[in-house]
């Protein structure tokens, strides 16, 4: 079986030496190169063509995330595994966005790192369960924020309705027909149709189904008529 070819990019020589010793103790791994900064790693990695690149985020000469971006275009077949001290959701999200195959904390380096390298070299993506939870929470927060923003925008459009338009809106949403609305509000059917057209235009809805959904989201049907 071919050994997994690993390249280490970190500005601390002691850490690089420790990682090299750790990895080369594994029968299926071989360190094929190392670099201490972002600019030099690009040319060295191109020559080494590793299977997996261990990349620190804090690098002299070039931010690790920028190095990651360039590595993904320079050696697209190599898997990049971020190795960092930053247990930070923003770093994690940005690293994954730029194409990292995993995100490992330096304090977890050891058996976990060995497992991670094997995972990403075979085409998988590694995330610690804690990091997966962080991403899930962020996703939920963004969705909640987007939903709240959408409701806020709908409320703003709703406030542009006149008192009579609000009455017609609510009655239509409750399922009343045009002639029934006309009787309740002492209007002609034609006038009711005109109000309905104005309501749809102001709220940006095209059908009664959309109008009902709009009313439910704002809680209008719970209000007293």
- For the cut 90, the answer to whether the pLDDT of residue 100 exceeds it is no
List, for residues 5-17, the tens digit of each pLDDT value.
999 998 889 988 9
- For the cut 50, the answer to whether the pLDDT of residue 65 exceeds it is yes
DSSP string, 144-184: HHHHHHHHHHHHHHHTTS-HHHHHHHHHHHTT--HHHHHHH
148 neighbors 60 (Cβ within 8 angstroms): no
Q: Determine which of 96-105, 129-138, 194-203 has the lowest per-residue pLDDT on average.
A: 129-138
The residues pairing with 54 across neighbouring beta strands, listed in sequence order, are 8, 81
Closest among 98, 20, 19 to 57, alpha carbons compared? 98
List, for residues 134-171, the tens digit of each pLDDT value.
444 454 455 555 555 556 788 888 888 899 998 998 88
Tell me the angle at which helices 89-97 and 129-158 cross, rounded to the nearest 10 degrees. Answer: 90
Whole-number pLDDT of residue 121? 87
Whole-number pLDDT of residue 139? 46
pTM of the entire structure?
0.57
List of domains in the chain: 4-127 (3.40.50.2300), 144-222 (1.10.10.10)
Whole-number pLDDT of residue 26? 92
Q: Give the mean pLDDT of 197-216.
A: 85
3-class secondary structure, 30 = strand
């Amino acid at each position: 079986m071919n050994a997994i070819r690993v390249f280490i990019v970190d500005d601390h020589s002691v850490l690089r030496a420790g990682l090299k010793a750790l990895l080369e103790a594994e029968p299926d791994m071989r360190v094929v190169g190392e670099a201490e900064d972002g600019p030099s790693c690009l040319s060295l990695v191109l020559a080494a063509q590793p299977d997996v690149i261990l990349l620190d985020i804090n690098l002299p000469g070039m931010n690790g995330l920028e190095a990651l971006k360039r590595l993904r275009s320079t050696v697209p077949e190599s898997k990049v595994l971020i190795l960092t001290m930053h247990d930070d959701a923003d770093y994690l999200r940005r690293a994954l966005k730029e194409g990292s195959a995993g995100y490992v904390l330096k304090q977890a380096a050891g058996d976990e790192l060995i497992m991670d390298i094997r995972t990403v070299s075979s085409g998988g993506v590694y995330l610690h369960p804690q990091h997966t939870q962080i991403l899930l929470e962020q996703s939920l927060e963004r969705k909640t924020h987007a939903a709240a923003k959408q409701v806020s925008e709908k409320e703003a459009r709703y406030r542009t309705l006149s008192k009579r338009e609000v009455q017609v809106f609510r009655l239509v949403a409750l399922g009343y027909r045009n002639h029934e609305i006309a009787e309740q509000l002492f209007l002609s059917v034609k006038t009711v149709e005109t109000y309905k057209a104005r309501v749809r235009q102001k709220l940006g809805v095209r059908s009664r189904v959309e109008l009902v959904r709009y009313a439910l989201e704002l809680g209008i049907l719970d209000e007293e008529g």
